[in-house]
Amino acid sequence: MSDATERLNHLIELAAHDAPENRRMLAVELCDLLLDWPARYPEHMREPFEVLLEKTVRSVDEYTRRALATKCGERAEAPINVLNEFYFDAPAEIRDAIVLRNALADGVSPVPIDMANTDETSLIVAARGQRQDELLGALVRVFGVEQATAFGILDDHSGRSLAIACKGAHFSHATFSALALLMDAGGGIKELRERLAQFDAVPLMGAERLLDFWRSRQQLAA
């Protein structure tokens, strides 16, 4: 049995003992391993470690997620799916870097959302109603994401996450602007202008791939 296989088995065994401290230690150890991948380990062994890390970080505490998000965001070696998993835990500059990594990543383009089944109007109506539970439900339904992701979009007062979702879903600029105004959390004219400018600032491919990742999480959960 190879060293990499033995290590994977050890980490899986650690994951089997479901306790908060075990999960935290597992996430930190997996992150360190992937960021400093040993030269003696076969490259094809990275994927199962990445999958295990993706699964683990979903159940660790918020403080650990933020720390790992910052650590991974500063390293080019960080797997793109792991970065995507950390998006809502990362500070603004790392969030922007994650979107750019998605835009520049190699691979197949995501499958476009079926616009015939995407009701932009219902989302605007829910935003106009100013009831958070209805708006969260509309975000989940229209974008096809988990409730936690919908809350992350709503809680991002900069408008970046909303711009990613809208642009990734091929919504019109007018729809995004209406939502950005209706979901505005306050601030002056300068903040409002910056919020409205997010749509043009987000690269299309980066938005498509990140929204595709968010939707894939919902599909896995289903």
Q: Are residues 124 and 187 in the same domain?
A: yes
146 Cβ contact list (under 8 Å, min separation 6): 140, 214, 217, 218, 221
Task: Please provide the average confidence, as pLDDT, over all residues in the chain.
Answer: 86
| Confidence (pLDDT) at 2 | 65
Q: Are residues 51 and 11 in the same domain?
A: yes
- Residue indicated by tokens 């202008």: 193
Q: Dihedral through CA 124, CA 216, CA 96, CA 163, nearest 10? A: -10
Q: Which of 35, 56, 90 is the last residue of a domain?
A: 90
Indicate the range of 83-97, 105-119, 166-180, 206-220 predicted with least confidence: 105-119
Number of domains in the chain: 2
Whether residue 108 lies inside any domain: the answer is: no
Whether residue 101 lies inside any domain: the answer is: no
Position 23 confidence tier, pLDDT thresholds 50, 70, 90: confident
| Confidence (pLDDT) at 1 | 52
Whether residue 103 lies inside any domain: the answer is: no
Q: Are residues 206 and 125 in the same domain?
A: yes
- Give me the mean pLDDT over the 35-48 stretch: 86
Q: Are residues 76 and 140 in the same domain?
A: no
Q: Are residues 77 and 129 in the same domain?
A: no
| Confidence (pLDDT) at 129 | 82
Rounded to two decimals, the pTM is 0.85
| 142-192 pLDDT per residue, tens | 999 999 999 999 999 999 999 999 999 999 999 999 999 888 766 778 888
Percent of the chain at pLDDT above 90?
Answer: 41
The total of other beta-carbon atoms located within 10 Å of residue 132's CB is 11
Whether residue 79 lies inside any domain: the answer is: yes
Q: Are residues 134 and 82 in the same domain?
A: no
| Confidence (pLDDT) at 64 | 92
Whether residue 109 lies inside any domain: the answer is: no
Whether residue 61 lies inside any domain: the answer is: yes
With b meaning 16 or more CB within 10 Å and e meaning fewer, what string describes 29-48? Answer: bbbebbbeeeeebeeebbee
Position 116 confidence tier, pLDDT thresholds 50, 70, 90: very low
Range of the domain at 45: 3-90
